[in-house]
Amino acid sequence: MFSHFSVFPVLFLVMTSVANSAEARSADEPCSYLHKSWKINPSTGICGPTITNKSSSAPPVQNYAVNNPTNTFQQINCGEGTILKNNSCVIDFRHEVDAQGQTGGINDAFLPVTNLFDNMPDFPKVDPVLIGFFAAIFITSIFIGRQFSRKKRIARRNRREWGSHRPDELGILRVTPEEYRRMQAFERSFATVGKSDPEYFLHVTSGAKLVDASRRGNELYSIDTIIRGRSLKLLKYCDPSTGQPYVSFVPEHINKADHGMAWKFHVTDREYGGMGDEA
Partner 1 sequence: MISWPWKKPKLYRHGDLLLRQVDEIPESATPLSTSIIAHGENGNTHKLHGSHQVYETPDKQILFQAKQDVSLKHQQHHTLKISKGNYVVVHEREYNPFKNIQEEVID
Binding footprint of partner 1 on the chain (CB under 8 A):
171, 173, 183, 187, 227, 230, 232, 239-242, 248-252, 263-267, 271-272, 274-279
How many Å apart are CA 262 and CA 119, to the nearest integer?
92
Of 213 and 267, nearer to partner 1 (C-beta) is 267
Minimum distance, C-beta of residue 266 to partner 1, in the bound complex (Å): 5
Residue 203 C-beta: closest distance to partner 1, Å: 20
Distances (CA, A) of 113 to 79, 99, 117, 192: 17, 17, 12, 84
Instruction: Determine the Cα–Cα distance for residues 245 and 266; give it in Å rounded to an integer.
Output: 20
Complex with partner 1: residue 47 or 191, whichever CB lies closer: 191
- The residue (of 57 and 241) whose beta carbon lies closer to partner 1 is 241
Closest approach of Cβ 206 to partner 1, in Å? 13
Least Å distance, CB 232 to partner 1, is: 5
DSSP code of residue 108:
G
Using only C-alpha atoms, what is the Rg of the chain? 48
In whole angstroms, the minimum distance from the beta carbon of 163 to partner 1 comes to 22
Q: Are strands 47-48 and 82-85 parallel, antiparallel or unpaired?
A: unpaired
Please state, in angstroms and rounded to a whole number, the distance separating the CA atoms of residues 224 and 251.
14
Q: DSSP label at 121? A: P
User: Least distance (Å) from partner 1 to the CB of residue 277?
Assistant: 5
Residue pair 108/62 in contact (Cβ under 8 Å)? The answer is no
Between CA 143 and CA 149 the distance in angstroms is 10
**In the complex, least distance from residue 144 CB atom to partner 1, rounded to whole angstroms:** 38
Contact, 219 vs 179, CB < 8 A?
A: no
Closest CA to 73 of 52, 98, 59: 52
- Which residues share a beta bridge with 246? 237
Using the minimum distance from each CB to partner 1, give the nearer residue, 151 or 266.
266
Q: Collapsing DSSP states into helix, strand and coil, what is residue 3?
A: helix
| DSSP conformation class of 110 | G
**Which residue lies nearer to partner 1 by CB, 91 or 247?**
247
- According to DSSP, residue 119 is labeled T
Closest approach of Cβ 245 to partner 1, in Å? 14
